[in-house]
Amino acid sequence: MHTLYDSETYSVTHMLANRDTAIERPSGASKSEQAPVQGPMLARHGFEIIDKRSGKEVYLDGSWAELFQQHISAWQVNTPTQEEVEDTLERYAELAQNPVVMH
């Protein structure tokens, strides 16, 4: 989990998918006895955007996350102003339905 952006109005966190690529070996087993995970692996990442004004958040994954990643890549090439970043985040924040809750 990496905080990518934090302002008075928005917070953006990149959620990384971490999945072990090996099954835990029994105690006493050597490393060579470690078996690979069988079946498909869904290594998906996403972005959580919190609109601090409304107290709501949206989680982007799949094609939404890929689209947002394109914005981030473009920002790395051409550094945007804070206003440009906030305008982009505002468009995504319109999707926010979930209230932010603390655990």
- Dump pLDDT digits (tens) for 67-96: 999 999 999 999 999 999 999 999 999 988
Sign of the Cα pseudo-torsion (14, 79, 53, 65, in order): negative
Q: In the predicted model, is pLDDT for residue 46 greater than 50? A: yes
Kindly report the pTM of this predicted structure: 0.71
Q: Kindly state the average pLDDT of the residues 10-25.
A: 70
DSSP reduced 3-state for 59: strand
Distance of CA 101 to the CA centre of its chain: 18
Q: In the predicted model, is pLDDT for residue 20 greater than 80? A: no
Kindly report the number of other CB atoms within 10 A of residue 76's CB atom.
9
Spell out the alpha helix ranges (H) of 1-100: 63-77, 82-93
Identify the pLDDT of residue 98.
Answer: 78
Strand 10-15 and strand 46-51: the pairing is: antiparallel
Q: Kindly state the average pLDDT of the residues 7-29.
A: 71
Q: Report the distance separating Cα 70 and Cα 64, nearest Å.
A: 10
